[in-house]
Amino acid sequence: MFKGRDIISIKDFSKKEILHILDVAEDMFPIAEGKKKSNLLNGYIMGSLFFEPSTRTRLSFEAAMKRLGGDVIGFAMPTTTSIQKGETLADTIRTAESYCDVIVMRHPKEGSARMAAEFARVPIINGGDGAGHHPTQCLLDLFTIRREKGQIEGNKIALLGDLKYGRTVHSLAYALALFKVEMVFISPPELQMPKEVVEECREMGAKITIKNELDGLEDIDVLYVTRIQKERFPDPEEYKKVAGSYRIDLKTLEKAKEDMIVMHPLPRVDEISPEVDKTKHAAYFRQTFNGVPVRMALLALVLGVVE
């Protein structure tokens, strides 16, 4: 079912397939923690092609491969490669695939992973294509919600911050709609969730509320915070006002449910105060860790080592 498949967009997967990935990730959890040793991917090589900076995606993919006994080749910045000499992505992919069994890539252009998949014989895993997709982030978010709350269905989930440009929230909203959860989209008017995303989610059966104010956290189960980028605002004062009003601190959390979790794809700038880190609400570092078992599951599945 998964052997040889590309992982380009979360939309390429059914709910049943997503749940299967999460189940495999659950099996991988003790290996990701280093509590159990594995040689599942011994003899396999992952090509890690990062044309753009990344901390979590690249490191967790490399950790995932190595924890499963596999090896990694690649680059973290294209400046050390022939891309600097003007080589196309298509040729870079054709070269890299002759040295490895699976390719993980991040590239600034939208649709780059889809194009790479056309040229590669080995599976391509999209680690982010510009403002396009970031399916492995979406899967680890779902994994985190399921792990923290027991299940995905039945939760009321608020997505907060830059809902217009943030690539993770579009995929996440779609994936959550597959589970028919109730969602609240909180953003400044200029950074609202695109209309087509809202419509699509509603058509899929998700109940959605759209708001500008960060209030009414009393009945929220998951608060998913995203970074608001300064460069989206022509006026720096306007940015300060918006960023300040969405800052999560102890006071914001006073009215929250005891078991509400705060998630964030990271990096954060100042949208979550460090004082929140020590509270039981903070799930974002566990979320970061969850990237490892989820990416282990994906590697093992597309390489056909696990069915």
Partner 1 sequence: MKELKVQPIKDGTVIDHITPGNALKVLKILGLLEKQPDSIISIAMNVVGKRGKKDIVKIENRELDPKEVDKIALIAPNATINIIRNYEVVEKRKVMVPDEIVGIVKCANPNCISNTKEPVQPKFIVKSRNPLKIKCYYCEKEPEDISSQII
Of 287, 301, 5, the residue nearest 138 (C-alpha): 287
Residue 170 known to be catalytic: no
Residue 55 known to be catalytic: no
Query: From the candidates 16, 85, 195, 278, which is the catalytic residue?
Result: 85
Token duo for residue 141 = 């978010």
Residue 56 known to be catalytic: yes
Work out how close the CB of 113 gets to partner 1 at its nearest, in angstroms, rounded to a whole number: 9
Query: From the candidates 57, 92, 168, 226, which is the catalytic residue?
Result: 57
Residues that bind partner 1 (CB under 8 A): 9, 88-90, 107-112, 114-115, 118, 129-132
Q: How far is CA 7 from the centre of its chain?
A: 12
Burial class (CB in 10 A: 0-12, 13-18, 19+), 26: middle
Residue 241 known to be catalytic: no
Query: From the candidates 20, 67, 106, 227, which is the catalytic residue?
Result: 106
Residue 114 vs 211, nearer CB to partner 1: 114
Work out how close the CB of 72 gets to partner 1 at its nearest, in angstroms, rounded to a whole number: 25
Residue 110 vs 238, nearer CB to partner 1: 110
CA distances to 241, 259, 279 from 256, rounded to whole Å, are 23, 8, 12
Work out how close the CB of 169 gets to partner 1 at its nearest, in angstroms, rounded to a whole number: 16
Residue 67 known to be catalytic: no
d(CA 172, CA 177): 8
Q: What are phi and psi of 64, to 5 degrees?
A: -60, -45
Strands of 130-250, DSSP E:
156-160, 182-186, 207-211, 222-225
Residue 129 vs 221, nearer CB to partner 1: 129
Work out how close the CB of 91 gets to partner 1 at its nearest, in angstroms, rounded to a whole number: 9
**DSSP symbol at 190:** G
Query: Residues with catalytic annotation?
Result: 56-57, 85, 106, 134
